Amino acid sequence: MPMAKYFKIVAENRKARFDYAILETCQAGLVLTGNEVKSFRLGRVNLRDSFARAERGELWIYGMHVSPYSSADQRKIDPVRRRKVLLEKRELVKLIGKVNEKGLTLVPLRVYFEGNWAKVELGLAKAKKKYEKRDKLRRQTAEREIERAFKGKTNARKNDN
C-alpha cells in the first residue's frame, strides 16, 4: 500500500505509553463533523483520558476532547462527545474478542491525517501496576544520571587539552 502524500500527526497520547503496556496497535478511521475536522487540522485535540469501547458491534472513542472551531457556527456541540471508529468487520471482531477475553483495554495512542482522512492509532493495552511504573521511572533517572556523568567527563577532558 503506497504511503499517502500528506501525513500529519495531530495529537499523541504519551501518558498511555506510561500507564499501559501496549501489546498491539491498529489503524482506524474516525467519523468527525466539519468543524471538528478544522479543529483537528489546527491540532486542537487532547487524548489524555480517552479510551475506546465496543457497543452493539461498533467501536466508539470516549473522552477525546476536540476544541470547538472558533470561526464556525457556535451551536452547542459537546467537545468530549463519543466518536465512531471505522474498522473492517474482521478487525473489529478480532479486537472486541481480545478485549472481552483477556480483560484488555483499547486506548487511542495518536490521531493524525493520512491524505485527507482523519485516522486514529488504537493500542490494545494492559494496565501497568504501580510498581512497574515506579521501576521504569527509577531506571530512566539512573540512565539520565549516568549520561550526565559521562558527559561531564568528556567535557573535562576537552578542557584539559
Q: pLDDT value at position 77?
A: 74
Distance from C-alpha of 73 to C-alpha of 100, rounded to nearest angstrom:
40
Report the alpha-carbon angle 130-132-133, nearest 5: 65
Q: Is 68 helix (H, G, I), strand (E, B) or coil?
A: coil
**Whether the model pTM is above 0.75:** no
SS3 77: coil
Q: Report which of 9, 41, 34, 26 is spatially closest to residue 111, judged by C-alpha positions.
A: 9
**DSSP code for 3:** P
Instruction: Spell out, as residue ranges, where the chain has pLDDT lower than 70.
Output: 1-4, 72-75, 153-161
pLDDT of residue 154: 62
Q: What is the pLDDT of residue 36?
A: 81
Q: How many Å separate Cα 35 from the centre of its chain?
A: 21
Cα(11)–Cα(157) distance, integer angstroms: 42
What's the pLDDT at 31?
Answer: 85
CA–CA gap between residue 30 and residue 117 (Å, rounded) = 8
Do residues 85 and 61 lie in contact, with contact meaning Cβ atoms separated by under 8 Å?
yes
DSSP state of 140: H
